[in-house]
Amino acid sequence: MAAGGDIANPLPASEAPDRRADFAATLAGHGLPRLRRSAPTTLQVNVGRLCNQACHHCHVDAGPGRKEIMAASIAARVIELIGANPALRTIDFTGGAPELNPNFRRLVEGARAADREVIVRCNLTVLFAPEMEWLPEFYRDARVHLICSLPCYSSANVERQRGAGVFDASIAALRVLNRLGFGAGRFPLDLVYNPVGPFLPPAQDELERRYRDELGGGFGVVFDRLLTLANMPIRRFARDLERLGRAAEYMGLLVNHFNPMTVAALMCRTLVSVGYDGGLYDCDFNQMLALPLGAAGGCALTIFDIEDFSALAGAPIATGPHCFGCTAGAGSSCGGALA
């Protein structure tokens, strides 16, 4: 195992996959039909690419200098659609650092007023960003489900991926959240692991036990679950792979570890992704690739073009080579491993 618990690439660096990274053809080769939607139950809202960090693995290209951010008019329409679609049981806010959007509080309160489960994908260090001191108590009062990035239990690996000082700040943030009841039996707090390099995540259950031992024994930190996510070969991570000359190697790793047992549980079947500009997509990864909702037949749809999300049931899902990132090994989704 590589540093931080990564599974080392079993292929020689020079060995590319012996077939093209054609996801649709791979499905067909395993006797699986084209991906189609069930009725959506989760609305994932990407409120923008502004972030207080600029992580090496970020598929959003988020960072402190990004200007793309959801406007008040888009936020208002999102809240309206949440109220009009009771089948959307979970509203999942992501970014960037979603908390940096000036409409963040309004969005969370609107979703909670509609009695939906609210997930916030938090990078932890945002709790110590300027003028963010209100966040921990707001999370508690809104009773949100926090899913927090901590790509390793090792300081060296976290800072290699996310920058100097991030590990200590993350531990401090987790302690603040623990004191408020997150991860300690009152409110859910999950952690997210991403491999530091071009590897597949290790077994989720085994790594979770290691996280509990290291974080609990070393820092007194508790959490509910560990979610393992593969790094998606798009945007910033893809550019890093190209710079290192490992793009073909990583794509080969994903393709050659395609697992048909993950397909039934893919998040795109029951999730709709909303962009900061109101665009609609099958998942956050497709959003970053500007790959329109499969149901739209290649046309761009927005939140102003739809009233009833259940109408998407049965529609095709837009796919591409990056989909191997969700179906390799044990699989990967916003909810962790799939198989």
What's the pLDDT at 20?
55
Q: Cα(193)–Cα(240) distance, rounded to whole angstroms?
A: 19
pTM above 0.95, yes or no: no
pLDDT (average), residues 30-40: 96
Q: Cα(218)–Cα(90) distance, rounded to whole angstroms?
A: 34
Is 53's pLDDT higher than 90? no
Q: Which tens digit of pLDDT belongs to each residue from 111-156? A: 999 999 999 999 999 999 999 999 999 999 999 999 999 988 989 8
What 3-state class would DSSP assign to 150?
Answer: coil
Q: How far is CA 213 from the centre of its chain?
A: 25
Q: Cα(243)–Cα(240) distance, rounded to whole angstroms?
A: 5
Letter for the amino acid at 221? V
Which of residues 9 and 228 earns the better pLDDT score? 228
Cβ pair 267, 334 in contact under 8 A: yes
Q: Cα(210)–Cα(168) distance, rounded to whole angstroms?
A: 18
Could you tell me the pLDDT band of residue 31, with boundaries at 50, 70 and 90? very high
Q: Which of 26-35, 53-62, 123-132, 330-339 is the least confident region?
A: 53-62
What's the pLDDT at 330?
96
Give the DSSP H/E element, type plus range, for residue 225: strand 225-228
Q: Which tens digit of pLDDT belongs to each residue from 183-203? A: 989 999 999 998 878 999 999
Cβ pair 49, 66 in contact under 8 A: yes
Q: What is the 3-state secondary structure (H, E, C) of 15-72?
A: CCCCCCCCHHHHHHHCCCCCCECCCCCEEEEECECECCCCCCCCCCCCECCCCCECCH
What's the pLDDT at 15?
37
What's the pLDDT at 12?
35
Other C-beta atoms within 10 Å of 321: how many? 16
Which of residues 305 and 8 earns the better pLDDT score? 305
Cβ pair 196, 3 in contact under 8 A: yes
What's the pLDDT at 152?
87
Which domains occur in the chain, in start order? Answer: 3-7+38-233+267-318 (3.20.20.70)
Q: What is the 3-state secondary structure (H, E, C) of 258-299?
A: ECHHHHHHCHHHCEEEECCCCEEECCHHHHHCCCCCHHHCCC
pLDDT averaged over every residue in the chain: 90
93, with CB counted inside 10 A (0-12, 13-18, 19+), is buried
Give the DSSP H/E element, type plus range, for residue 190: strand 189-193
Is 4's pLDDT higher than 50? no
What's the pLDDT at 62?
75
Could you tell me the pLDDT band of residue 182, with boundaries at 50, 70 and 90? very high
What is the DSSP code (8-state) at residue 89?
-
Cβ pair 150, 121 in contact under 8 A: no
Is 2's pLDDT higher than 80? no
Q: Which of 161-165, 254-258, 308-312 is the least confident region?
A: 161-165
Q: Which of 7-11, 218-222, 246-250, 281-285 is the least confident region?
A: 7-11
Q: Cα(247)–Cα(270) distance, rounded to whole angstroms?
A: 30
146, with CB counted inside 10 A (0-12, 13-18, 19+), is buried
Q: Cα(143)–Cα(108) distance, rounded to whole angstroms?
A: 10
Q: Report how many helices (DSSP H) and strands (DSSP E) the chain contains, helices first.
A: 12, 8
Q: Cα(207)–Cα(3) distance, rounded to whole angstroms?
A: 13
Q: What is the token pair recorded at 263?
A: 């397909």
